[in-house]
Chain A
């Protein structure tokens, strides 16, 4: 639970999660509702909303959790269509592909990456201050993107 909150705070955001409704199974966290909680048995594999997993003391968020963070006023960068495609393919974000930013935009900050429709595509770490004028530089390092759904099934 602490790890989830720590992760969320890296985006200058907070998400209200009911501790009583979070269950952990094999290092993976799931958010339930009351009905699911009343019916769940110990040997479940997956339940409710998958929030992410903990491995070697590191937290890896799910895309469900990123979508929840995206509903707050978390740090975000909106990218154009071409950068959207490249990001989903695992590539970093160039300055020229950024159409809007929200948050301090400091070097080292975590930021969500959104497309022009406002859909969360993943997140990354800002490599240089976003007010740089150099359009050809990588601005955000890709950490996780939704293309992972394709890669993990290979």
Chain B
């Protein structure tokens, strides 16, 4: 089961009508390295027109630019990162981050790791893991460029993070996922429902491990850039039932999580999640989880 018609029909059943999107490039200013107003002025003086992204702190769309924003001095100095608007949301969902011990379980290429360090003002410690060694080089470069000082990187499978013998205050699960058509022109011809199910299984395995290394009152932010409910609401519903996790109410851009998926009724608290259909941003799904109060 695959193909554009198959997936578009699924989206229709979930209440969204497919339409192609053209994504705007976005940046996020790293406040640990620079003043927002100064960087904005410097970029504007180089002919870059910025438009504030209304639902993000420090995020801007590039409305016009004479040069590539990925080659400017200010970028190379780590004053900003190029980060799609929806991808800036997950890290912002954590409560207080300063001085915390944070796990970024699937960290490469590091856009969200740098964002975490930025919100932590380089305090505390981030443990960043990734299973793909090749992508870890990009992560290391990203950390060096953005002058991140509070991170330790390991080449390690997120499903084995208990081997670090640490308990984390905050865990970011930016899950390996099927992605979505907004960022991949070939998406419909590349993906099958089997891919989606395999990814959903992997995500559940990572969730199981994350729960084991989460401090008692810690927070998990779960994020995918998949539109497929198997990787989103259905996994969260599964985590509520099987892992003793509960969703937390979050205030951010996006629609409430679906509580009825292809005729199946889910736990009502799944609506605390946010589903972002492609449009102003790429497709995304985010959710904040904690351990259930009455369960260990």
Contact = CB atoms under 8 A, between A and B. Distances in A.
Interface of A: 31, 33, 35-36, 39-41, 43-50, 62-64, 67, 84-85, 88, 115, 117, 119, 121, 146-147, 149-150, 152-153
Nearest to A62: B144
Nearest to A87: B73
Contacts of A35: 124-125
Contacts of B124: 35
User: Main secondary structure on chain A at its contact with chain B?
Assistant: mixed
Interface of B: 42, 70-71, 73, 76-77, 101, 124-125, 127, 136-141, 143-145, 147, 149-156, 164, 166
B71 A150 contact: yes
Contact of B153 (A47, A121, A147): A47
A50 B125 CA distance: 15
Contacts of A39: 101, 125, 127, 152, 166
B76 A150 contact: yes
B140 A46 contact: yes
A117 B41 CA distance: 12
Given A35-B125, A50-B143, 16 more contacts: A33-B150, A43-B156, A44-B154, A46-B140, A46-B143, A47-B153, A48-B151, A48-B152, A63-B144, A88-B73, A119-B73, A146-B77, A147-B76, A149-B144, A150-B70, A153-B137
Contacts of A48: 149-152
Nearest to B164: A41
Contact of B155 (A45, A50, A84, A115): A45
Q: Which residue of A33, A47, A64 has the most chain B CB atoms within 10 A of its CB atom?
A: A47
B289 to A, nearest CB: 24
A146 B155 contact: no
Contact of A47 (B42, B70, B152, B155): B152
Nearest to B152: A47
Contacts of A36: 125, 150, 152
Contacts of A41: 152, 154, 164
A23 to B, nearest CB: 10
A121 B152 contact: no
A46 B152 contact: yes
A153 B141 CA distance: 9
B152 A146 contact: no
B276 to A, nearest CB: 29
A43 B154 contact: yes
B147 to A, nearest CB: 6
Nearest to A119: B77
B90 to A, nearest CB: 22
B152 A149 contact: no
In order of increasing CB-CB distance, the 4 nearest A-B pairs are A46-B153, A146-B76, A47-B152, A46-B140
A46 B76 contact: no
B44 to A, nearest CB: 14
B174 to A, nearest CB: 18
A119 B73 CA distance: 9
B160 to A, nearest CB: 12
9 contacts: A33-B150, A39-B152, A46-B140, A46-B143, A46-B151, A119-B73, A119-B77, A149-B76, A153-B137
Nearest to A38: B125
A145 to B, nearest CB: 9
B151 A47 contact: yes
Contacts of A150: 70-71, 76
B136 A45 contact: yes
Contacts of B136: 45-46
Contact of B141 (A31, A49, A84, A149): A149
A62 B153 CA distance: 17
Nearest to B68: A150
A146 B42 CA distance: 18
Nearest to A35: B125
A40 B70 CA distance: 32
A3 B140 CA distance: 22
Contacts of A62: 144
Contacts of B141: 149, 152-153
